[in-house]
Amino acid sequence: MNMTDIPSFLYEKISAAFDTDQAERIFSGFETAQQRPITLRANTLRTDADYVAKELESAGLSFVRVGWYEDAFVMDPNVRLDELRRLPIYETGAVYLQSLSSMLPPLALAPRSNTDILDMCAAPGGKTTELAAIDPTARITACEMHAPRAERLQYNLKKLGATNVQVMRSDARRLDEFFSFDHILLDAPCTGSGTVRAGDTTANERITERLLNKVVRSQQALLDRALTILKPGGTLLYSTCSILPEENDEQVLEALSKKRHRTCSLVALDPSAWNAEPYPIPLLLGGQPETLSIAPTKEFEGFYMALIKKEYAQ
């Protein structure tokens, strides 16, 4: 493989953070990502997965259903975006184009029914709408700081029929302690290092030390706030589409080491929940045993998840 196809900063970071086998897996994942097929989620707020399957078949678009999630579809590599976008199921919000990795956090959070949920960094709303579909009885607050992205979020919520969601256009780092939630999804801003495709000429300018330092600061502040406004007895799912330990395990362990968060601890995520064929999740090895790092592959973006529980104070 030609290493000049991978951003040089990222190449060095990955080589330093992982053993040779895992680093090679990541680099070859970036290579095969060039052929990543389109994936989508049936939006059960509008329809069900069998109806989506029938509509795709009658449009002559081939797909494979995913073993661990009945609403997930992997399209044949020959299916083009414009073919999908023309379909009534796309126009009416019966499907949402979403990567397989990014379907995992709402499933891993697995909210109890009829609870208060905060999606802290929500736009464009893939995971918000998935949460809304998982539990239409939930009261979901979707926070987004950037105005144009908040508008996109609002648009997607309406299109997909997620009526149990309130949008809050604010900086989630400053959410008042007056708010509290049973479940929080913190899908943090990140370098996007897991989504790199070899040969992407813009990635070298995008993924830099400066960006890493900026997102690490923001992740720290967001995680600190999330742990503060999580209700005792509640759970927080932290995720990034990065594979760098600075944004993932190191970030989570640093937050949990703070005295003020002593009632919070990691809950082990069980990878066997997403092990079914076809498309079992490809795990990266060597991280914290309770958390999950997903290797970039042809079908999956590199991704990270950690689940945290807050106990009642003694």
Catalytic residues: 241
Q: Among all chains, which residue has been given the structure tokens 């079992």?
A: 280
121 binds ligand SAM (CB under 6 A): yes
149 binds ligand SAM (CB under 6 A): yes
Q: Are 105 and 93 in contact (CB under 8 A)?
A: no
Kindly tell me which of 173 and 309 has the beta carbon lying closer to ligand SAM. 173
Kindly tell me which of 169 and 309 has the beta carbon lying closer to ligand SAM. 169
> What are the residues facing 73 on neighbouring strands?
40, 65
Which structure tokens are listed for 153?
Answer: 């979020």
146 binds ligand SAM (CB under 6 A): yes
How many amino acids of this chain bind ligand SAM (CB under 6 A)? 20
Kindly tell me which of 61 and 107 has the beta carbon lying closer to ligand SAM. 107
Kindly tell me which of 149 and 206 has the beta carbon lying closer to ligand SAM. 149
**Which stretch, 125-133, 193-201, 244-252, 290-298, contacts ligand SAM (CB under 6 A)?**
125-133
- The residue of the chain with the least Cβ separation from ligand SAM equals 121
Which residue stretches of the chain are H helix? 8-17, 20-32, 49-58, 81-85, 88-91, 104-109, 126-134, 147-160, 203-206, 209-229, 249-256
Figure out which of the listed residues 126, 161, 194, 296 binds ligand SAM, where binding follows CB under 6 A.
126
| 127 annotated binding-site participant | yes
Distance CA 291, CA 271 (A): 9
Give min distance, CB of 160 to ligand SAM, in A: 12
Cα separations in angstroms, 53 against 27, 57, 71, 90, 95: 34, 6, 10, 13, 11
Give min distance, CB of 165 to ligand SAM, in A: 12
Distance CA 156, CA 151 (A): 9
> What are the residues facing 116 on neighbouring strands?
139
Q: Are 123 and 152 in contact (CB under 8 A)?
A: yes
Give min distance, CB of 148 to ligand SAM, in A: 9
| 233 annotated binding-site participant | no
Shortest CA distance to 133 belongs to which of 97, 163, 90? 163
Figure out which of the listed residues 5, 71, 135, 144 binds ligand SAM, where binding follows CB under 6 A.
144
Site for ligand SAM in 95-114 (CB under 6 A): 102
Figure out which of the listed residues 125, 194, 245, 287 binds ligand SAM, where binding follows CB under 6 A.
125
74, with CB counted inside 10 A (0-12, 13-18, 19+), is buried
List, as residue ranges, the binding site. Answer: 121-127, 144, 171, 187
- List residues near ligand SAM by CB under 6 A: 102, 121-127, 143-146, 149, 171-173, 187, 189, 218, 222
List, as residue ranges, the binding site for S-adenosyl-L-methionine. Answer: 121-127, 144, 171, 187
